[in-house]
Every structure is written in structure tokens, then in C-alpha cells.
Structure 1
């Protein structure tokens, strides 16, 4: 990841660069981000997730949010995430995330990146 970015997340679509454990967010998941005055939120869907939402804050290049999601098997789950905002070598937004489930056991790290310009899949949100 290159230097931190003050570029707004508003209107961006991001996707994980790798799959997590089965039944969680994966490369087919799309996050539609919004940002206004230090508040961030997103809708997400794809893969095992029918619908998910996150809401939190941005201070500089640090996001702090909580998320909740519904999976295709009908289960729900929620957790907390802190992300460092940066950019890829080609200037796209990259989030390096550290997350922890609050509704179940488990924690980890992941990376999501802004999708490259061009025809993309919808968010399904």
C-alpha cells in the first residue's frame, strides 16, 4: 500500500482481494461506500452474503465501524472493524482491515480495494 489517502470513499465500490473463511465475505462481495463529514457507511452483498450494512466514522486515514449481515442460510452476524485507508500503486483506494466478530467467535485481517474502472458487477444492495 502506498501513502495514506484523503480521497473520499463516497460513491466507490470496493471488493475483497481474497476469500475469507467459508460463509463470510469473499471476492464476489461488493461494498458500495458512502462518506459525509467523517461518517462512513456501506451496503454490501454477494457470495454468501444476502445483505450487509456497515456504519462508522473516518478520522484521517482510519475507519472505525460496526457491521451486520444476513447470509443465504438465514443466519445473521455482526462485528467491529478498524481499517487503514491507503492507495494501490495505480491510485485506487485500498483498505487494510482488522476485524472481530461480536456475535460469534473469530477475528482476522482482510484487504478490500476499489474496483478498476470499466464494466463491473452490481452491488446487489
Structure 2
């Protein structure tokens, strides 16, 4: 993490961003408890997997674990996959027809500015 101005390109200080992340974690915890109360087995398991993927991102963002930019991107991609798995399980549990993946909704990748895409020297 950066000292002084905060994260690269951030308008908030590092302390403000960390406080915001802590608030998001509390919100996720409350939402997770609601899923545990209302969701079926498949939904709860998908929520566990999603929570684990998001925690890895949080740990790297707060410096609790060290990792490369590629590892950061891999965790974000994993979280996107887990979000889709959670949505699919929730839709089935709720009896909603249709899917959010497959031929009509192909898997999407991370949205990165041109300077941060694979193969660009500025991405490290």
C-alpha cells in the first residue's frame, strides 16, 4: 500500500479507503447471514465460495497477503466467476427461469484501461 496520498489514482486517503473496505465487509457479513437464513444448500455453498474469493482480494488490498498484479487479477476473475455461480444458484433456488451465463451471456473478463491490459509494459 502507498503512504501519503493513498492508493494510486485514489482521491481518498489510504485510511479512508481502509475504513470503507471495513464497512463493505460488515455489509457483506450481514448479507451473508441473510443468505444463510433464506437460501438453500447450493446457494449457501456458492455464497461461501464467493466470500472466500472476495476475502483474498481484501487481504491483498490491505497488505495482509502479498501478491503480484497477475495474482490480483486472478483473484478478481475468480470472484467474478463465483458471483455468477452464486447468481445461478440463487436463481434456481428462487425458481427464476433463464441463465446469466452461456451462449446469450458469455463469460466476461476484467474491465481494464488500455494501459493496464495484458502485454502492456505499464501493467506491472
Between Structure 1 and Structure 2, the one with more helix by share is: 2
- Name which structure has the greater RCO, CA cutoff 8 Å, separation 6+: 1
Q: Which protein has the larger Cα radius of gyration, Structure 1 or Structure 2?
A: 2
TM-score by length of 1: 0.22
